């Protein structure tokens, strides 16, 4: 037994892995619960007809692109500020940062709600089918009330996450999900609302989730040091938080938007109803499959930020390595389940034999993309914990918009690969993204990150990050030349 344990310890630090699993498992369950809210509504509408499924999936993509992704991205600043603040014991600042971030999210929600109201002309402008656009637009208008809850919800999740308060989130996310299933089914099948009942149920559930979390934060004694109540001091930090919230949002959106753009591109392919539904289902499957890496990415973000805030860069780097290994091992199990059970999974979305056949041929490509996400999901979490959002923006921009989407368009429209071609292009971009983030984490000077994580040092760190990477490579080159010279002298 000791021999086996010793062998495993050589591969993976079991104690660190255990601690990260204790943190990441509830985060994974929480992410699955919140993500499943919109997914459940799409599943229910899929049984109303092909047009309703296409409209709901397109609306769900638009909802993610312009709403959820932006909210998640904006809240990413808290992973840096609150994570570092908690590690350095500046507890009172966590509540200030939370309020500042919520104010920013509410301002963005007002702008996004206007965009959602004009969904139909925007989708038609993007060459989507008029029937599908009209159906999607109807869906979006009833999601507007829930939009304002989403931003606050995501900020509170980051606030709790950075304090390693994660197990209560499982209960506080599972309860709204169970409530949502009943509400959605009842509104769709037992009222005259029918299709409109799906987005209405999402809005209701978003507010229930937000109010539950807010009540927990304000009443639980464990937050007496980090939540001191509402304060006008939060307005003083709006600009500070915004400077990191914007690149955080860009970092997340550039990645997530690339997946959703595939849904729009699929609408331009032959048999748009089939291809739109197929690609949308693949995107949803990818998101569910990557919940493990995103949960572990949250663990890596918190562990790295806390350790850097406590001035322990070596422990931060060690935690990142353990998280990467753990993510790959667990994702391999998910990939095996997908390859063996894709026939069962697709029936949750559609009973169409055509979609089932096409999804079966997409399964191997999905497996590859999910494996790549198991690495980049963790590295992106590390980037947020370190305050590298400014650099990650350029990585994601180049990977997805200069590599992934151009290749996807060529293979999807200029060859007979169609939907498969779109996904192959995405895989190419993900490979570039993962490689770039690996290089970043390898050559970055971790010992200098503790100062860079301070609010006043965030911009300076981002400005000099590329310079530091280049300098590190130059130093390694000089060391190699010195070794070669010494070897020549010996000879």
Q: pLDDT tens digits, residue range 192-245?
A: 898 999 999 999 999 999 999 999 999 999 999 999 989 899 999 999 999 999
pLDDT band at 1 (very low <50, low <70, confident <90, very high): low
For residue 151, give both structure tokens: 């931003």
Q: Are 52 and 45 in contact (CB under 8 A)?
A: yes
pLDDT at 28: 85
Mean pLDDT of 283-291: 82
Mean pLDDT of 48-52: 85
Give tens-digit pLDDT for 13-48: 777 888 888 888 898 899 889 988 998 998 888 888
Residues 440-469 as b or e (16 or more Cβ within 10 Å = b)? bbebbebeebbebbbbeebeebbeebeeeb
3-state SS track over 340-404 = HHHHHHHCCCCCCHHHHHHHHHHHHHHHHHHHHHHHHHHHHHHHHHHCCHHHHHHHHHHHHHHHH
Instruction: Provide the sign of the torsion angle of the four alpha carbons 245, 142, 280, 412, taken in this order.
Output: negative
This prediction's pTM: 0.80
Lowest mean per-residue pLDDT among 82-86, 330-334, 360-364, 461-465: 461-465
Residue 269, helix vs strand vs coil: coil
pLDDT at 246: 94
Contacts 24+ apart (CB under 8 A), 449-455: 449/308, 449/313, 449/316, 449/386, 449/387, 450/308, 450/309, 450/311, 450/313, 452/386, 452/387, 453/80, 453/84, 453/305, 453/308, 453/309, 453/386, 453/387, 454/84, 455/81, 455/240
Q: Could you give phi then psi for residue 269, rounded to 5 degrees?
A: -80, 165
More confident residue, 312 or 430: 430
pLDDT at 409: 92
More confident residue, 368 or 485: 368
**pLDDT mean across residues, the chain:** 85
Give tens-digit pLDDT for 212-225: 999 999 999 999 99
Q: Are 405 and 462 in contact (CB under 8 A)?
A: no
For residue 346, give both structure tokens: 């697709």
Q: DSSP letters of 67-109?
A: IIHHHHHHHHHHHHHHHHHHHTT-THHHHHHHHHHHHHHHHHH
Cβ neighbours for 155, distance < 8 A, ≥ 6 positions apart: 74, 75, 78, 98, 101, 102, 105
Q: What is the Cα–Cα distance from 356 to 120, expressed in whole angstroms?
A: 29
For residue 382, give both structure tokens: 């590390």
Q: What is the Cα–Cα distance from 60 to 326, expressed in whole angstroms?
A: 31
């Amino acid at each position: 037994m000791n021999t086996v344990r010793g062998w495993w310890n050589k591969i993976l630090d079991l104690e660190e892995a255990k601690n990260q699993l204790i943190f990441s498992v509830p985060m994974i369950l929480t992410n699955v619960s919140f993500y499943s809210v919109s997914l459940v509504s799409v599943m229910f509408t899929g049984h109303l007809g092909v047009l309703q499924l296409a409209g709901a999936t397109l609306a769900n993509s638009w909802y993610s692109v312009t709403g959820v992704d932006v909210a998640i991205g904006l809240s990413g600043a808290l992973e840096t500020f609150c994570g570092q603040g908690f590690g350095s014991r500046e507890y009172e600042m966590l509540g200030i940062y939370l309020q500042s971030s919520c104010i920013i999210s509410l301002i963005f929600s007002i702008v996004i709600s206007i965009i959602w109201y004009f969904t139909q002309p925007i989708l038609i402008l993007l060459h989507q089918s008029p029937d599908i656009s009209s159906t999607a637009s109807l869906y979006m208008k009833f999601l507007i009330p829930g939009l304002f809850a989403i931003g606050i919800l995501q900020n509170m999740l980051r606030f709790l996450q950075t304090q390693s308060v994660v197990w209560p989130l499982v209960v506080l996310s599972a309860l709204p999900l169970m409530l949502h299933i009943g509400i959605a089914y009842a509104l769709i099948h037992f009222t005259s609302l029918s299709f409109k009942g799906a987005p209405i149920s999402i809005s209701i559930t978003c507010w229930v989730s937000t109010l539950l979390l807010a009540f927990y934060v304000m009443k639980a004694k464990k937050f007496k040091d980090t939540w001191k109540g509402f304060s006008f001091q939060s307005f003083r930090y709006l600009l500070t938080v915004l400077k990191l919230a914007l690149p955080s949002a860009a970092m997340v959106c550039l990645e997530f938007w690339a997946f959703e753009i595939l849904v729009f591109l699929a609408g331009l392919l032959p048999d748009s109803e089939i291809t739109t539904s197929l690609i949308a289902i693949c995107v949803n499957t990818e998101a569910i499959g990557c919940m493990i890496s995103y949960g572990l990415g949250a663990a890596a973000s918190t562990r790295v930020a806390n350790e850097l805030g406590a001035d322990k860069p070596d422990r931060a780097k060690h935690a990142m390595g353990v998280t990467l290994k753990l993510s790959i091992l667990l994702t391999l199990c998910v990939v095996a389940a997908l390859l063996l059970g894709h026939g069962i999974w697709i029936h949750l979305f559609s009973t169409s034999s055509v979609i089932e056949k096409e999804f079966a041929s997409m399964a191997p490509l999905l497996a590859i993309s999910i494996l790549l996400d198991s690495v980049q999901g963790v590295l992106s979490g590390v980037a947020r914990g370190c305050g590298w959002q400014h650099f990650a923006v350029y990585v994601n921009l180049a990977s997805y918009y200069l590599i992934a989407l151009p290749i996807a368009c060529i293979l999807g429209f200029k060859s007979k690969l169609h939907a498969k071609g779109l996904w192959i292009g995405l895989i190419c971009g993900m490979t570039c993204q993962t490689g770039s983030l690996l290089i970043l984490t390898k050559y970055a000077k971790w010992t200098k990150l503790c100062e860079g994580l301070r609010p006043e040092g965030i911009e300076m760190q981002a400005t000099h990050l590329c310079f530091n990477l280049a300098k590190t490579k130059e130093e390694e080159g000089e060391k190699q030349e010195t070794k070669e010279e010494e070897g020549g002298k010996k000879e």
